[in-house]
Amino acid sequence: MNYCQTKLQDKLEYNQLLDNFILGCKQTEKVGMEYERIPIHKSTGDVVPYDGEFGICEFLREVAKEDNWDYLLDETNIIGLKKLHDTITLEPGCQIELSIEPQEKIADLKKRIEEIDSVFNPILDNFGIKLINLGVSPKTTYKNIKLLPKRRYHLMANYLWGILSDVMMRETAGIQVGIDFKSEEDAMRKFRLANMMMPFVTAMYANSRIRGGVDTGYKSFRALAWLNTDNERCGFATRFQDGMSFKNYVDILLNIPMIFINREGHTVNINGNLTFKQFMEKGFEGFEANIDDWNLHSNLYFPEVRLRNFIEIRNHDCVGGDLKYSIPAIYKGIMYNSDAIQEIEKILCKYSYSEINELRYCIARYAIDSKIKKQPIAPICKEIVNISYQSLKNKGEGEESFLEPLIEMVSKKKVPADFV
């Protein structure tokens, strides 16, 4: 491996690992959104492959040509597009993800998604493709979904353990939300609360019942897939303790096994043979740790809620229509209102880490019909949504309207999977 055995003059220091989180503190109250969808052939319902005359690679070429997007490349393969602060990227099974620049108003997120879709739709029609709003591929399973030609995905597929890790990578689609924080204290309070809320919110958006053409018996098979994907890097990144700090989160990451590093355009496979802490202390085959290695390692950690230079809230099945905008809305109404945060804390702090963690296993099958401490969670879900609704309403900007589709569904004790 003589192509990249060059050492840094300066050894990576612990304080550098904290910088991304510290520098993430900002006074804004924006919301970001990542929106994944599964591309299927209209004629057959099969997942669309990367290659071919009407494959996803050619679809991206057409979008770039039509709307002046720049290519994102892995070696010579087109793996996404970029335009200013928005990106279109491909997940391992060719799921198409829109990452929208964070906005102060949810209406602006909606406007940008609709603008991009207006470019997509004529090309999709021409290609005979439909982007579906479900949490799992309803017909094609991972054995018939070729992995995207992106080097990191092949290394991840070979490394990630768990009986449903291939399902997670190739079959699933979700919606993620990004929330700002003003200080370390603010970050960790929101981080703790988002983790405690996660199973309840996951339940409300359960939308992946049909897989391989059959009813799985799970309302969120996607949630089940994450429960069976590499427990060392998935699940909760906190035990909901008070007083957690950026340092605590860094220490968690330091002890996660590494998958690979990049050097001069090449990947160096580590395959879990050492943690990042060991890499900093000892190096690996002549390589020393640098800040890019740390950033990559951080992005290969997949908890339910992830700390970056914002708080990334991850575990929602993809849903469609106006319901998808209720996902950023529910968090905006809570996370940017200290009274709302306090109300949600009061509701959820009566439950232990073990009880909320156990709930994750129930909601995959039963969604909003699950129970915690032998009590149904539907009233808790309804209360969470109502607190967010009232918070947004009190701001007087009309954004509570984005929660109306969710309120209607929760009031009927239904989830999207019940309508498939």
Alpha-carbon separation of residue 351 from 27, 342, 345, 354, 359 (angstroms): 31, 15, 10, 8, 10
| Interstrand relation of 302-303 and 234-235 (parallel, antiparallel or unpaired) | parallel
Of all helices (H) and strands (E), which one includes residue 153? helix 151-159
Exposure b/e, 250-276, CB count within 10 A at least 16 = b: beebbebbbbbbebeeeebebebebbb
Alpha-carbon separation of residue 403 from 47, 318, 410 (angstroms): 31, 16, 11
DSSP for 31-46?
EEEEEEEEEEETTT-P
The residue type found at 170 is R
Handedness of CA 326, 327, 330, 333 (dihedral sign): negative
Instruction: Return the pLDDT at 233.
Output: 95
Instruction: Return the pLDDT at 9.
Output: 41
Exposure b/e, 157-191, CB count within 10 A at least 16 = b: bebbebebbbbbbbbbbbbbbbbbbeebebbbbbb
Q: Kindly report the pTM of this predicted structure.
A: 0.95
Instruction: Return the pLDDT at 255.
Output: 97
Average pLDDT, consecutive stretches of 10 residues, N- to C-terminus, the chain (420 residues): 43 94 97 98 98 98 98 96 97 98 98 98 98 98 97 96 97 98 98 98 98 98 98 95 95 97 93 97 96 97 97 98 98 98 98 97 98 98 98 98 98 96
C-alpha to C-alpha distance for 116 and 409, rounded to whole angstroms: 28
The residue type found at 107 is A
The residue type found at 143 is K
Instruction: Return the pLDDT at 10.
Output: 66
Alpha-carbon separation of residue 239 from 82, 356, 357, 374, 406 (angstroms): 37, 10, 9, 22, 29
C-alpha to C-alpha distance for 23 and 26, rounded to whole angstroms: 8
Q: Are 315 and 39 in contact (CB under 8 A)?
A: no
Q: How distant is the alpha carbon of residue 83 from its chain centre?
A: 21
Of all helices (H) and strands (E), which one includes residue 98? strand 96-103
Structure tokens at 85: 């602060």
Q: How distant is the alpha carbon of residue 88 from its chain centre?
A: 14
Architecture of domain 14-256+301-419: 2-Layer Sandwich (3.30)
Instruction: Look at residue 136 and give its three-state secondary structure.
Output: strand
Q: Are 203 and 381 in contact (CB under 8 A)?
A: yes
- Phi/psi for 182 (5° steps) reads -95, -25
CA angle 309, 312, 318 (to 5 degrees): 150
Q: Are 69 and 83 in contact (CB under 8 A)?
A: yes
C-alpha to C-alpha distance for 121 and 213, rounded to whole angstroms: 26
Q: Are 317 and 220 in contact (CB under 8 A)?
A: yes
Domain spans, the chain: 14-256+301-419
